[in-house]
Amino acid sequence: MAVNVEKMLDGLSSTLIGAFGDKVIIGVLVRLLDDITPGIAYKAVSNNTPLFINVSNQDWDRWKIKAQKFRIKDFSVDRVVSEITKYRPDLIGIIINTNGGIEWLNDQIVFAKDKLGI
């Protein structure tokens, strides 16, 4: 099931977005992992393949406009690891236990932050 990020973001009230922006952004990131299997995660980490390889520049531009409304407090590797652990323990195990996995995850977060202007 493909995730419609725009639909998710459009459905949120501005109050919710303002107060819980970091939770929203991390939640979207976790949802983007829905179709990722442990095998795909291992290959991505091992080959240093970007997580967001299939996201178009047009999508990033639209999401960036929406993300500017968010109050981001903590979009760190530790926070993302904590959230992925709750929802996708199968993937976080692969990421943590694969050589360079945490660095790979940090690179994905830095990339997303840059694309979203946060």
* pLDDT tens-digit map of 7-61: 655 555 555 555 566 677 777 777 778 888 999 999 999 999 998 888 888 988 8
Q: How far apart are CA 28 and CA 26, in angstroms?
A: 5
Residue 4 has a pLDDT of 63
Give me the amino acid identity at 56: S
Domain count, the chain: 1
Q: Which range marks the domain in which residue 98 is found?
A: 5-116
Residue 96 has a pLDDT of 94
Is the whole model's pTM more than 0.85, yes or no?
no
Q: How far apart are CA 15 and CA 18, in angstroms?
A: 5
Residue 79 has a pLDDT of 86
Q: How far apart are CA 46 and CA 99, in angstroms?
A: 7
pLDDT band for 1, please (50, 70, 90 cuts): very low
Give, in degrees to the nearest 5, the angle at Cα 78 between 53 and 5: 40
Q: What is the pLDDT of residues 60-116, one digit of tens each?
A: 888 888 777 777 777 788 988 988 899 899 999 999 999 999 999 999 889 988 888
